[in-house]
Structure 1
Amino acid sequence: MRFSTPLVAGRLLRRYKRFLADVVIEATGEEVVAHCANSGSMLSLARPDARVWLQKSDDPKRKLAWSWILEETPAGDCVCIDTSRPNAIVAEAIALGQIPALAGFATLRREVKYGKNSRIDILLEDPAKGRCWVEVKNTTLSRVPGLAEFPDAVTTRGAKHLDELSARVAMGDRAVMVYLVNRPDCDRFALAADVDPAYAEGWREARDRGVERLVLACATSPEGIEIRAKIAVDP
């Protein structure tokens, strides 16, 4: 996925009220308020004075013109903090046949209603292969070098999705939980059981009921984001 317009570099002053961030644009010194499309804690991120990358919209209907898309780590690796991006990244990769485990389906639909007032991120359907329900989670937490973790905060919504995926397997469909590691400095993945023990237990139950797990690493840069490969899962 290439960004539709060039990203602009800045320095983060602070993140507040979860969805707002004050940023100084590097090229001009202008201070702007950017929308932060991330409801999590952003644990290990949102560091004051971190280099960040913003995208500007020309839509006059938007309350905030700027959106915070990426944050650079001290080592210079880019992390995508925008949780509105992963579904499109995975859908594009499936359509291009770049994810073998999810290839060969006749149709792909997004945001399909299912379960209890939920929407599945991606529904794959095929006369021969049946249905495959795909839930995507943006993964940005890293507290140990090389290790990506999910979640970065308690997620009752995430636990609900695991239950609903399990129900689809019980109906005879496939269900896949995709953790998209949206930072190139990690080559391993684990659940952050200390952050949300209930979610970790919910995953174990979902796995035992037949829900599949797929962990994908991304090449993330100010030019775009592309799925690179599967990565290892720690026990």
Structure 2
Amino acid sequence: MVRRIVDGMSRGLHLDTYLLAFDTRAQSLEDRTRAGFLVRAAALAELAERGAVVEGGAGRVEVVSAEATDDRVLDGVLAELAGRPRRWKSWIRRGRDETLEAVEQRLAMLGVVTMADRDPYGPVVAQRAVAMVDPREALDLQVRVAEVARGGSPVDGVGFGDAVLVALAAHGRVRLVLSGKERKANAERIAAFTERVGERAPGLAKAVGGLGLTMVAAQGGMGGS
């Protein structure tokens, strides 16, 4: 598994996905809007993996266990899912900015990143500056996921978490992990990993596979769920 233990705590898919999208040279996210979609999708995948949510009728997400997960990010998303039933794609689009900021706060609490304090007398800014404490946290993960995507081990021997990370990096077009050329060269393998996401929920795999179009549609103000 790609996931590690940080200060005795398991670092989940949603936190690892943030690191995949973090440019250590620039000390910032490669694309903040894109990262919001990705961490939101990762949180949904993790809740599905834990068995907290399932895919119900008409492909809508249903909460089957509202017990606390010991992760405030996942608990926040789970509380949202308990409301009106929606499809996976809709839940990926909704609340993504709040989930992204919650992920940053969680990583700061774990000591993985630092966040600049807000200046109460300064101008209002959309988000605080975030810096990686040890860039290797992100770099090692990006290299590891790229290696999994390019081959070296059978797809069916790769864990669910790793499959999700590869699918998100590929369909989310995270260039820090895979270039466009590499995505094309490994298209069949990426498709197989995306299918693995469907082991927990077929609709989630479809939503992850369509992330590129979903991001374009959302940024262009197009509707649909």
Assess same fold via TM > 0.5. no
The higher-RCO structure (CA 8 Å, 6+ apart) is: 2
**Structure 1 or 2: more helix by fraction:** 2
Structure ID, larger Rg: 1
**Structure 1 or 2: more strand by fraction:** 1
